[in-house]
Amino acid sequence: MTITLAQPLVEEKYRRYHQRINEALAGCFSTESPVTLYAPARYILEGKGKRIRPFLTLLAAEAVSGSAENALHAALAVEILHNFTLMHDDIMDEADLRHGRPTVHKQWNTNAAILSGDMMIAYAYELALQSKTQRHRELIHILNHANITICEGQALDMELEKKKNATIADYLDMIAKKTGRLISAALEAGGVAGNASQEQLEALVTFGEKIGRAFQIQDDFLDIMADNGKSGKIPGGDVINGKKTYLLLRSIELASGRDKELLLSVIENNGIGAERVGEVKEIYLRCGVIDETRALINRETEEALAAVAPLPFAEGREYLKGFAAMLMKRDF
């Protein structure tokens, strides 16, 4: 991938904007009462979030207008909406921990987590309405569309868990809605805050869709291929839990004989013992799905970079491209 900016410059900008976003988020939900409504919202925002989405919002505004100044409220709205989805996802997943801390429904209770999450949606819309733009209606529409689409993605994910004959098309549709749409919405919101044209918004959305898909497929890839501990997960956790990923579904298409029988058993039995993860990894290597997945991630990333090439302000555009490259080189 040809990136004009040196990676340390991108990383430095990310650190500066990460700090700026965190400082602004710390000023949200300052109301003290009711404690069980506002404290959970502050708590989840204090976690070790990477702030990828609001960073993209700020960069998108820079790429179309030369400045991120008018996009901060939109960026905060996107991040709060994202954290609302995490809060409710943790309830549905019955998760005990997030970023090494008790999840909100464990720290308080399920009812508090549901209610606080609901409040966060409205708060996100209020922040969007405070953006320095005349295009508030578009911003609200973007957030609404993203919220609805994420809910569709979560529903598809739950359906996919029970579906024994799931296809790659099913999987790609699910990740586009559950993961990809908020990434593209973050960029679209930044574009609106920067007064982008329709053509520029379409370029940002395409970039987000492509990067979102590459990011999620790489997440599946790292689950089984990353060095122990670097992915932040148990190596092969997706296979152990019977999760239908691109690698598993595609390898079922490519494999045959006993290899295919073992892969199908992962779905039939809703997972496999940790001691057999190595066997599945060997099948992935044998059938060529590892190389194919690497190629797919690179192709989606290259298409994303090409989509934003026409954006008018070089610095913001090149930081967008540099951050995409940084995401795709991650081992965390």
Q: How far apart are CA 3 and CA 40, in angstroms?
A: 40
**Distance from chain centroid for Cα 280:** 26
The number of helices, as runs of H, and strands, as runs of E, in the chain is: 16, 2
Residues paired with 101 in a beta bridge: 98
pLDDT of residue 5: 77
pLDDT digits (tens, 9 = 90+) for 159-188: 999 999 999 999 999 999 999 999 999 999
CATH classification for the domain delimited by 7-328, as one of 3.40.50.720, 1.10.600.10, 3.40.640.10, 3.40.250.10: 1.10.600.10
Helix or strand run (H / E) with residue 98 = strand 97-98
**Distance from chain centroid for Cα 17:** 18
Length of the chain: 332
Closest CA to 39 of 28, 48, 54: 28
pLDDT digits (tens, 9 = 90+) for 184-208: 999 999 999 999 999 999 999 999 9
- pTM > 0.85: yes
| Neighbour-count burial of 70, counting CB atoms closer than 10 A to its CB (0-12 exposed, 13-18 middle, 19+ buried) | middle
Q: Which residues of the chain have pLDDT under 70?
A: 1-4, 227-233, 330-332
Cβ proximity of 136 and 182 under 8 Å = no
pLDDT of residue 232: 52
* Alpha-carbon distance values, 173 to 114, 155, 265 (Å): 26, 11, 24
Crossing angle of the two packed helices 168-175 and 198-225, in degrees rounded to 10: 120
Residues paired with 168 in a beta bridge: none
Domain boundaries, the chain: 7-328
Crossing angle of the two packed helices 72-93 and 181-193, in degrees rounded to 10: 160
pLDDT of residue 233: 59
pLDDT of residue 227: 67
Percent of the chain with pLDDT over 90: 91
Q: How far apart are CA 185 and CA 224, in angstroms?
A: 29
Cβ proximity of 9 and 322 under 8 Å = yes
